[in-house]
Structure formats: C-alpha cells, structure tokens
Structure 1
C-alpha cells in the first residue's frame, strides 16, 4: 500500500469532490445564489452582474449572476463521470477486440492498423468536431440522447489506439516462455487468457484507463472552445454577448468544467475570475490524475517485470526439440 500512497490520496480527493457534487441538491441553492442587479434604498439599479470576488461571492459571479463556486460544485460531477465513463469503455472494448485480434485473427491486425491509419495524421479534435456538429443545435432532442451520442463519439476516437495497444501487449506476452510452456502442455486460448494474460492485462488496463481519462479531459476541453459542450448548449446564452445579428453566446447546459472554460475563455481581459476559477479547478483535476498515472507507471511496470523474472526462474528448461514457437514437430522412434 505504501507504493500507492499518491494514488490512494489522489483517488480519495477525486471521490470526495464527486460526492460533494452529486449531493449538491441537498445543500446547494437551486439557482446558484443568482443575483443579476443591485438596487439602492430608492430602488434604483446601481450595479449589475458580473460581480468580483467578495465575502458574499467567494469566487465572484458569472455574467448571468450565478455564484461561480456553486456552479463549479454542481458541474464537476459531469466532467468526472464523462471522462471516467469514456476511458473505461475505451479500455474494455478496445482491450477485448485487441486480444481477439491477437489470438484468433492476427492477420487482421495489419488491416486494422491500415484502416485507422488516417486517424494518426488527422487530429482527433477535428474528427470529433465534424461528428458532433450535427447536434450543436438539436431540435427537440432529449439531453440523454445528446450525451449518449457524444460519449459514443468520444469512445470511437480513442478506440483504435487502445485496440492496437492491447494487441501489441498480447503479442509480447504470447512470446514469453511461460505462455509458450502452457501452449506446449496443451492449454487453449481461453485458458491462456484466464491464467496468463488477465493478471497482466488487468494491471495494464488500470494504468491505461487513467491515461485515457487524461486524453478525454483534453479533448473535452478542446471541444468546448468550439462551443461543443457535453450535454448540449443553452440557447438562452450569456448576458452581454449578443452579436449584431441578435444571436446569444451559447452556454453549457450541464455546467461541466470544460464547458465553463470554453464559454468564458474570452473573459480573461475583462472579468478574469469567471474563467480563472474553472480553469484552475480543471488544472487541479489534471494534476491529480497525472500524479496517479505516474505512480502507477512506476509501480505496475516494475512489478510486472519482477513477476516475469520470477516465472522464468521457476520454469524448467525444455528439450531443444520442444522449444518451437510455431507449429509442433512430432518425433518418431
């Protein structure tokens, strides 16, 4: 447990933040303590949102008068759940397909790589934008349908790299002497998966899931700059951003953190607290997850190397005639 001290601390912090956000309806104001106008004793308007940080509004308010710290507490759950869900689905589906290709259809690996070769040269964000533009201005579409479609696109973008990675790892494990020994003793592919591959793939899966969380957070952030928010956009917009054609600036419907940054990134010069708070929070999330990733890399890869060495020491050397890695040679008297 000492080797995973940072992982435990980081995971605990993320869990606490997630629980606070999920329980927001029990303690937080439904309108995010909204205050648009301030009146004097005579009822005249003397000030209007956004308001800078103060004792009443710790992190200030948005242009719509919503308290920033309440908005952040409410919206972080959508950022964390979306990133974690996409990462897990990528690893599960990509890992299964990668193992199947490596064990039962190795000839498909080359075609699979060639088919998705273009995704190595075309930025993932460009593919995501093209696929998500149709739902930027949905008509009578349920939020659940929008979110489902967005998650499918995000999973699809990372699916090829995870599949190739899983297939490469499986190929390397199949070359090890302990797996070859199992094949020589008559083990089938399902036995190899259960007894030989899963203990290794489970550890790699945890590490790669954390890596995919970081990748998902990055692409969600980039999408928000193009007003492609998780959960869709609020057509009511943001006060004070109407363009010459009368179209309001879109706002995130879910208040997730990447969306808050994307809709307010132009506020740096005028009202920096509106964008600085979610940006700092997003940076802290990435810092925690990256800390977990580095510790897992140092520990998991080191442990796997030690396990491989121990298994090799325990194995008895096989006769030279039985060390083939391809087809078997039958010996006759």
Structure 2
C-alpha cells in the first residue's frame, strides 16, 4: 500500500496558511501595525521606518512602516489561490482539448503544434510582459476585477499549449495499449473509451501535472513582479522614502501578494535586506512544499501506472490455463 505522508503534510500546511490568510480580517490589524516614526518623550523624532526585526516587529517593517508578518499573512491567499486556479484551469482546459485532438481531430495536432512552436523558443515571461504591460503597467481607471481576470487569462494562455500537447501525447500512448484496442474491437465508442479507459489514467496524470503547473505559475508571477507587473494592479499610494521619487512614489502591489512584495522591494537588498528576504523566504518555502508534493506524486502515481500497464499486458485468461500432469479428478 503506497502512502502519501509528505503530500498530506504539505497540503495541510498550505491549507492552514490559506485559512489564516482568509480569516485575517477577523484577527489582524487593518493598517498592518503601521508605524513610520518613533519619537522620544520630548516629541523628537529618533527613528523612522523601515525598522529591522525586533520584539515589536517580528519580521521587520517596510518603508511604509507596515509589519511584514502581517503583510505576508494578508497576501498569502492571493498567492495561493492564483497559483492553484491558474494550474487547475490550465490542466482542465488543456487536458480536454488534448484528448479532443487525439480522438476526434488528430489532423489538427500538427497545425496546433506548429502554431505554438514559437512559444517553445520565446521565454514565457516575455510573452506575459508584452500582453500585460498595457493594462497593469501603470495606475489607471480600469477596475480591479477586470485587471485580475485579464491577468488570469494570460497566465492560463501561457501554459495552455504545453498542457494540451502533453495530454494529447499521453492519450496517443494510451490508445496504443492492448486493453484500449480490445475495447475498440468489441465495438466501444470514443466516449466510452474516454470514460472507462482514459479517465482513470488521466486523473492521476492530471493531479501530478496540476502540482507542476502550480510551481510554474509561482515562478512566472515572481518574474513579472520584478518588472512591476503585480497581481491585481498597482497601489496608487506606492512606496515612500526615496529621495528621487518625491513627486511620484515607487509602484507597490495593491494586493500585497508575495510575488508583488518581492518585486516592489528587491532594490532594498543592500539598505534593508529583511524587506526582501522575508517574502523571498516565504515564497521559497511554498515552492519547496509544492515540490515535495510533486516528487512524492511522481514516485507513487507513475509507479502505480507502470504496474497497471504491466498487469494488463501479462494477464492471462482463465480459459487457457493448463492443469499440470497428475492432477486430474476422476468423476464417476
């Protein structure tokens, strides 16, 4: 019996983090424990944000004086929900279209492959940057829901071709197996083949590939944030404290999701390194957990599928089993 201990532990940790983030309005401060200036008893300013980690500010604060650990808890839901939603949509839409290409329109597969061939040689971040820059590159009057919807569509579109071709290739291999060919010979239709023969295998591969796409989505959102393209758009208030940005504050993430916190603060590496390292460490920890789940699923699911394939090939019908010599029963 194969176990999924790492998957259960990792999924539980991510679920707890997601619930804590979703419930943040019920226990967290609205202003993220905002504090910009520190004054003595005489009212003289003795210090100003950003503040390093301390007993009062566990993970330090940003230049706007907001506690980083509150920001991380608040923004975790946007990071996790976006990554999971994009991954599920990629696998669901790509899987359905991939099986359609192999079963009902195999002549279109070569055209589909040629049409998206350029995406194999052009970095995904470049395509996403070009498509997103016009709508989320600067503050504007576009509604937040429109920006988020557009970003999700672009993120799904970037991974759709690879998932489609992956699903189509798996379908082609399964169609060549003996048990599928036997179903065809017995008169089974394509819908029956999909329901009874393909889906049991595609579900396992779909779960594994969904986890892989979560990692891919996390990576590309972090890369986009370096170029100032934040999920949900830009906060008009921005980041203050820069001498050369008095008229126009430095852009900041509106949703405070983790990739945005990294992108808006990566220039603080020398002056206030904790502002960068804290969200980077959180982002890295999530990727490690998801990668741990992916590794265990690969070892277990692919191993199970291999055993099933071998069993189907080696199975012998009962009617051809021959009794050994000396083991006949005499019947009166």
The CA distance in 1 between the partners of 2:139 and 2:222, in whole Å, is 21
The CA distance in 2 between the partners of 1:245 and 1:44, in whole Å, is 23
Matched, 1:41 2:41: yes
Say which is worse superposed, 242-251 or 51-60, in terms of deviation: 242-251
Matches within 5 A, 1:309-324: 309-314=310-315, 316=317
Structure 2, unmatched stretches of 5+, are: 319-332
- Deviation string, structure 1 residues 262-321 (Cα, Å, up to 9, x no partner): 11111111101111100000000000000000000010000001111122233659xxxx
Pair 1:252–1:177, CA change in 2 (3 A):
same
Matched, 1:149 2:167: no
The CA distance in 1 between the partners of 2:74 and 2:173, in whole Å, is 45
The match for 1:69 is 69
With normalisation by structure 2, the TM-score equals 0.93
Residue pair 1:178, 1:315 contacting (<8 A) in 2 also: no
The match for 1:104 is 104
The CA distance in 1 between the partners of 2:171 and 2:153, in whole Å, is 26
1:11 deviates by 0.4
The CA distance in 1 between the partners of 2:78 and 2:186, in whole Å, is 50
Say which is worse superposed, 88-97 or 230-239, in terms of deviation: 230-239
The CA distance in 2 between the partners of 1:98 and 1:243, in whole Å, is 52
The match for 1:328 is none
The match for 1:247 is 248
The match for 1:274 is 275
1:114 deviates by 0.1
- Deviation string, structure 1 residues 82-129 (Cα, Å, up to 9, x no partner): 000000000000000000000001011100000000000110000000
Matched, 1:195 2:202: no
Matches within 5 A, 1:156-195: 156-195=157-196
SS at match of 1:46: strand
- Deviation string, structure 1 residues 208-237 (Cα, Å, up to 9, x no partner): 000000000000000000000000011211
RMSD: 1.4
The match for 2:309 is 308
SS at match of 1:234: strand
1:139 deviates by 2.4
Say which is worse superposed, 135-144 or 73-82, in terms of deviation: 135-144
Pair 1:159–1:44, CA change in 2 (3 A):
same
The match for 2:213 is 212
Structure 1, unmatched stretches of 5+, are: 318-333
The CA distance in 2 between the partners of 1:80 and 1:183, in whole Å, is 42
The CA distance in 2 between the partners of 1:245 and 1:276, in whole Å, is 26
- Deviation string, structure 1 residues 45-96 (Cα, Å, up to 9, x no partner): 1111111111000001100000010000000110000000000000000000
Residue pair 2:139, 2:234 contacting (<8 A) in 1 also: no
Matches within 5 A, 1:257-296: 257-296=258-297
The match for 1:28 is 28
The match for 1:6 is 6
Residue pair 2:64, 2:239 contacting (<8 A) in 1 also: yes
The CA distance in 2 between the partners of 1:138 and 1:104, in whole Å, is 46
The CA distance in 2 between the partners of 1:116 and 1:102, in whole Å, is 17
The alignment of Structure 1 onto Structure 2 pairs a total of residues equal to 317
The CA distance in 2 between the partners of 1:138 and 1:71, in whole Å, is 21
- Deviation string, structure 1 residues 231-272 (Cα, Å, up to 9, x no partner): 001121101135368322100000000100011111111101
SS at match of 1:3: coil
- Deviation string, structure 1 residues 108-154 (Cα, Å, up to 9, x no partner): 11000000000001100000000001112252211111100000000
Residue pair 1:242, 1:249 contacting (<8 A) in 2 also: no
